[in-house]
Amino acid sequence: MADAAADLRRRMKEQRAAIQRRFIDSRNWAAAASSAFSAALLEARSIANQTVSNRAKLSEQKQHLRKLESDLAQALSVQTSRRSKHNLMTESILKTTATNEQLTHLVTGRRATRDECMNAISIQLKDIESLESESDTNEDKNLEKALIWYNKFLGFQVVGGEGVKFMFNKIDVQSPDKECYFCVKLVEGRYTCELQVFS
C-alpha cells in the first residue's frame, strides 16, 4: 500500500512539473507574440509617416496588424485555457491526494481493528481450550471414581472377546458366586444385547 501511495505521489509530481513547463512555454510564446505585435505596430507607424500616399502598403500593413491581433487574441485565449486546465488539474491532484490520505488512514484504522479482533479471538480460543482440557480431566476423574465404586460394591468388570461383556458378581450377597452380566455385540452393522441375570 505504501509503494502504491509513493508511486501515486511520484506521478502527481511529474504531472505537476509537466503542467508548469507547458504553462511557462505558453507564457513565453505569448510574450514573443506580444513583442512581435509591438514591433509590427512601430513598423506600421514608421511606414505610415514615411509613405502616407502609399495606401496599398498601408492596407497591407493593416491586414498584417489584424492578423497579429488575431494571433495575439488566440495566444491569450490558449494561455487562458491552459491556465484554466492547469488550475483544474491542480485542484484534481489536491483532491486525489486528500482522498489517498483518507483511504490510508481508513485502511490503517481497519487493520488496527482487525488485529484487535484477532487478538481477542486468540485469547478466547485459549480460554476455551483451557476450559475444555479442565472439563475433560474432571470427566475422566468422575468416570474413574464411578468405575471404582461399581467394582467395589457390585463387582463390576468388563471382559473383552466376542463383543463386550459387562459383569456384576456382588449383586447377591448370599450367593457371591452368582454373576449377572449383559453382552453387547456388533452383528452385521447392528448392535445386539444379550442379558443374563444370574449364572
Geometric angle at alpha carbon 70, from 80 and 57, rounded to 5°: 155
Half-sphere exposure of 59 (CA within 13 A, CB side): 4
Burial class (CB in 10 A: 0-12, 13-18, 19+), 39: exposed
Closest CA to 43 of 73, 68, 74: 68
Q: Tell me, what DSSP letter sits at residue 177?
A: T
Q: Is 0.85 surpassed by the pTM of this model?
A: no
88 vs 90: CA distance, rounded Å = 5
Tens-level pLDDT at each residue, the chain (199 residues) = 667 777 778 888 888 888 888 888 888 887 877 787 777 778 877 776 776 666 666 677 778 778 878 888 887 888 888 888 878 888 888 888 888 888 888 888 888 877 776 776 677 777 777 767 776 777 777 777 877 776 666 666 666 666 677 777 777 777 767 777 677 777 777 877 776 665 5
